[in-house]
Amino acid sequence: MELLLSEEEIQKRVKDLALEISKDYKGVSPVLIGILRGSFVFLSDLIRHLTILPEIDFMSVSSYNTLTKSSGVVRILKDLERDIGGENVIVVEDIVDTGLTLTYISRLLMARLPRSLKICALLDKRERREVDIQIDYVGFVIPNKFVIGYGLDLAEKYRNLPYVATLEESEIGEPEENTP
Ligand code: IMP
Ligand code: MG
């Protein structure tokens, strides 16, 4: 395990992002949609630095993933509680990797006719992108390594770390690779 982003770096960047969003949405009450579970740490820090009054809702999706790869097929496990028709929506995600999950979610939300829809992601693993997707607010562009901490997990563990660290292949233990 190797430290990639320290707690201090993350906190500073999250505060800056919040100020940028507050400026862009001055006089508007956006609806922030946290994609569970990975985004909950980021979202909760982000909203505490906003100088506007957002509403918060959550959506839980499961992508049919192997341990570390996304398939882009997404199933809604928990839908929004509220209608977003006519609202200014900001989707808050922990990390954009291939971009498949967010592409799917954006399409689904656009069909509900929000007034606007923007995307805010803490981490952008740009090298791995398979579909072109615009991310309006990016915390950090990171190298193509598997990361954990600050909400991000490996098999549901490590979400509680206050920093982001990279894991080596040998520490991940992808099941396929263990199969003879
Ligand atoms: P995408 O559909 O490939 O963009 O995958 C996005 C989702 O995969 C994220 O919401 C994460 O849940 C997960 N993911 C992608 N990369 C990582 C990583 O490095 N660590 C932990 N989860 C990841
Ligand atoms: Mg996620």
Taking each continuous run of H as one helix and of E as one strand, the counts in the chain are: 5, 9
Contact 122, 91 (CB under 8 A): no
Question: 10-49: string of b/e by CB count within 10 Å (b at 16+)?
Answer: beeebeebbeebeeebeeeebbbbbbbbbbbbbbebbbee
Share of the chain above pLDDT 70, in %: 91
What the chain holds in terms of domains, given with CATH numbers, is: 2-146 (3.40.50.2020)
Distance in angstroms (rounded) separating the CA atoms of residues 57 and 79? 9
What mean pLDDT is reported for the chain?
A: 93
The structure tokens listed for 159 are 């979400």
Pocket of ligand 1, beta carbon within 6 A: 38, 63, 70, 93-102, 146-147, 152
Please say if the pLDDT value at position 69 is more than 80.
Answer: no
The residue whose CA has the least distance to atom 9 of ligand 1 is 95
The residue whose CA has the least distance to atom 12 of ligand 1 is 38
In angstroms, the Cα distances linking 98 to 38, 103, 104, 133 are 16, 10, 12, 10
Q: Which of 97, 132, 136, 153 is catalytic?
A: 97
The residue whose CA has the least distance to atom 19 of ligand 1 is 146
Ligand 1 centroid to Cα of residue 38, in Å, is 9
Ligand 1 centroid to Cα of residue 26, in Å, is 31
Ligand 2 centroid to Cα of residue 55, in Å, is 20
Write out pLDDT tens, residues 40-68.
999 999 999 999 999 999 999 887 666 66
Ligand 1 centroid to Cα of residue 11, in Å, is 21
Q: How many CB atoms lie under 10 A from the CB of residue 72?
A: 16
Residue 155 host element (H or E): none
Look up 153 and say whether it is catalytic. Answer: no
Write out pLDDT tens, residues 108-164.
999 999 999 999 999 999 999 999 999 999 999 999 999 999 999 999 999 999 999
Ligand 1 pocket mutation, candidates 95, 153, 154, criterion most atoms within 8 A of CB:
95
Contact 140, 41 (CB under 8 A): no
Residue with tokens 């799917």: 104
Nearest ligand to the CA atom of 40: 2
